Amino acid sequence: MTEWSVTEPRKIPLTDPVKRLQVRVVNGAVNVVGTDESSARVEVSEIEGPPLIVTQEGSTLVVTYEDLHWKGLLKWLDPKGHRRRVVVSVAVPAGAEVEVGAVGAETVISGVRGRTAVRGVTGDTTLVGLRGPVRAETVSGNLEAQSVTGALHVNSVTGDLTVIDGAGSAVKAETVSGDMVIDLDPAAGLDGPPADIRLASVSGEIAIRLPHPADARVQATTTSGSVSSAFDDLRVGGTWGTRSITGTLGAGRGALKATTVSGSIALLRRPEPETEPATGPDGDGDGDGSAASSPTTGKVL
Residue 256 lies in a domain: yes
In a domain, 260, yes or no: yes
As a whole number of angstroms, the distance between CA 219 and CA 196 comes to 12
Q: Give the integer Cα–Cα distance in Å for 135 and 29.
A: 19
232, with CB counted inside 10 A (0-12, 13-18, 19+), is exposed
Same domain, 161 and 265: yes
Instruction: Give ∠ CA 101-165-257 in degrees, rounded to 5.
Output: 85
Q: Are 168 and 151 in contact (CB under 8 A)?
A: yes
Q: Does residue 287 fall inside a structural domain?
A: no
Identify whether the C-beta of residue 239 lies closer than 8 Å to the C-beta of residue 213.
no
Domain residues for 34? 1-75+85-111
Which of helix, strand or coil describes residue 73?
helix
Measured CA to CA, the distance from residue 4 to residue 63 in angstroms comes to 10
Closest of 260, 287, 267, 285 to residue 275, by C-alpha? 285
Q: Which is it for strands 60-64 and 20-35: parallel, antiparallel or unpaired?
A: parallel
Q: For residues 153 and 267, state if they share a domain.
A: yes
149/127 Cα distance (integer angstroms):
11
Residue 122 lies in a domain: no
The pLDDT value recorded for residue 188 is: 61
pTM given for the model: 0.85
User: What pLDDT does 282 receive?
Assistant: 53
Residue closest to 270 by CA, chosen among 170, 173, 182: 182
Domain count, the chain: 2
Within a domain: 281: no
pLDDT at 274: 64
Q: Judge whether 126 lies within some domain.
A: no
Which pLDDT score is estimated for 69? 64
Domain-embedded: residue 124: no
pLDDT mean for each 10 residues of the chain (301 residues): 93 92 94 94 94 94 81 59 85 96 93 95 93 94 94 95 87 96 74 84 95 88 94 87 92 93 93 60 48 36 36
13 and 101 share a domain?
yes
The pLDDT assigned to 292 comes to 37
Provide the pLDDT for residue 287. Answer: 46
Q: Say whether both 249 and 175 belong to one domain.
A: yes
13 contacts: CB under 8 Å, gap ≥ 6: 39, 41
Residues 150 and 63 in one domain: no
Asked whether residue 172 falls in the same domain as residue 97, the answer is no
- pLDDT value at residue 73: 62
Is 9 part of a structural domain of the chain?
yes
* pLDDT for res 94: 96
Is residue 11 located within the same domain as residue 107? Answer: yes
- pLDDT recorded at residue 1: 84
Question: Considering 63, 94, 111, which residue would you say is the last residue of a domain?
Answer: 111
CA atoms within 13 A on the CB side of 200: 5
The verdict on 219 and 174 lying in the same domain is: yes
159, 176 in Cβ contact below 8 A?
Answer: no
pLDDT of residue 213: 79
